[in-house]
C-alpha cells in the first residue's frame, strides 16, 4: 500500500476488507481442530453490524479498477497439449486471492483436486503472514490436478482467463494489490508454457479484452500448499462479505459461460482423490 493510499476518509477496501480478511485468515487452534475466527464472529454478529457491512460494501464499487473484465465469453485455445492417457496432470495458476480461484476450479469437471498455496518464492517464505507484504516473490496460487482425458490444459486456461480473474490487471485483483496477487501461469514445462503463450497472443489478437493481458509465465517454480484454514474457504464461508462480492460471481459465470465443464457439487480438498 502506498503512503498516499493511507490517507483520507475510511474506505471499504482500505479499512473494512483488510479487517475481514485478516480475521478470516487467522486460525484459532483447539487441539487438532482449526476454527475459522471470522466464521465464529459471523455467528455472533448483530443485525446492526450486518447492515453496516452491507452499506460499507457499497463503497467497494468506488475502489475497484474501472472496467474490470471478468465473465467474458472467450474462444477456446487454438493450440493445446497433445492428447494424453495419463491419469493425472498438474496446472498451477495465480489470479489474485486464491479463495476464489480455488473455488472456481473445484467446480470444474475433470479436476481431481484444487489446492491453494504459494508459488514463485522460497520454501521458507511460503507462509501467509510473510507473503502478504508482496516482497517474497510468491503469488497466491492454486495447484489444479486434473484428468487430461476429461479436461485439457487449454480448457483450464480458458476458464482461468474467462472467469477466474481479470488478466489485464497488473499486480492486483479487485480490492487486493501487490505482486502476491499477480496474474501468473506457473508452467510445469516448456510445452505448457508454449500453449499459454500462444493463447495469450490469440486473446490479445481478438481484442476481447479492452486492455492487453499482463499475465506472466514462469517455468519450473515450486508450489507450496497454503495453511489448512485457507483450503475450501469459499465453500466453507459462502456468506463471507469478500466471497459474496468478489468470488461467488465467478462460479455463476463458469456455469453460464462453460456449462459442459461446470460441476454443480464442488470437489473439496478434504474429498480429493
Task: Using the Cα atoms of residue 92, residue 213, residue 195 and residue 203 in order, give the sign of their dihedral.
Answer: positive
Cell 480455488 belongs to which residue? 102
C-alpha cell at 13: 477496501
User: Which among 92, 97, 203, 269 is annotated as catalytic?
Assistant: 97
Q: How is residue 162 annotated by DSSP?
A: I
Q: Let me know if 97 is a catalytic residue.
A: yes
Among residues 150, 42, 139, the alpha carbon closest in space to that of 98 is found at: 139
- Angle (CA) 216-217-223 rounded to 5° is 110
Beta strand spans in the chain (E) = 27-30, 33-36, 89-95, 111-119, 139-146, 172-173, 176-177, 183-187, 216-219, 223-225
Catalytic positions, please?
97
Amino acid at each position: 500500500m502506498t503512503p498516499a493510499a493511507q490517507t483520507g476518509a475510511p474506505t471499504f477496501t482500505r479499512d473494512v476488507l483488510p479487517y475481514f480478511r485478516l480475521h478470516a485468515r487467522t486460525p484459532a487452534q483447539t487441539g487438532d481442530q482449526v476454527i475459522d475466527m471470522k466464521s465464529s464472529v459471523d455467528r455472533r454478529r448483530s443485525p446492526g453490524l450486518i447492515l453496516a457491512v452491507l452499506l460499507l460494501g457499497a463503497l467497494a464499487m468506488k475502489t475497484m479498477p474501472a472496467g474490470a473484465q471478468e465473465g467474458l465469453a472467450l474462444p477456446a485455445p487454438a493450440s493445446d497439449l497433445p492428447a494424453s492417457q495419463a491419469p493425472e496432470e498438474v496446472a498451477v495458476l495465480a489470479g489474485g486471492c486464491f479463495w476464489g480461484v480455488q473455488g472456481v476450479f473445484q467446480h470444474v469437471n475433470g479436476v481431481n483436486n484444487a489446492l491453494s498455496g504459494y508459488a514463485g518464492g522460497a520454501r521458507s517464505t511460503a507462509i501467509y503472514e510473510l507473503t502478504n507484504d508482496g516482497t517474497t516473490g510468491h503469488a497466491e496460487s492454486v495447484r489444479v490436478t486434473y484428468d487430461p482425458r476429461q479436461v485439457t490444459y487449454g480448457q483450464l486456461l480458458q476458464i482461468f482467463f474467462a472467469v477466474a480473474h481479470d488478466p489485464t490487471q497488473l499486480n492486483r485483483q479487485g480490492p487486493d494489490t501487490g505482486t502476491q496477487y499477480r496474474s501468473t501461469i506457473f508452467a510445469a514445462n516448456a510445452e505448457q508454457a508454449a500453449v499459454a503463450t500462444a493463447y495469450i497472443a490469440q486473446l490479445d489478437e481478438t481484442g476481447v479484452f479492452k486492455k492487453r493481458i499482463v499475465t506472466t509465465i514462469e517455468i519450473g517454480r515450486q508450489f507450496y500448499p497454503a495453511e489448512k484454514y485457507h483450503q475450501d474457504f469459499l465453500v466453507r464461508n459462502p456468506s463471507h462479505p469478500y466471497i459474496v462480492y468478489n468470488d461467488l460471481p465467478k462460479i455463476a459465470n463458469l456455469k453460464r459461460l462453460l456449462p459442459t465443464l461446470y460441476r454443480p457439487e464442488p470437489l473439496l480438498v478434504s474429498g480429493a482423490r
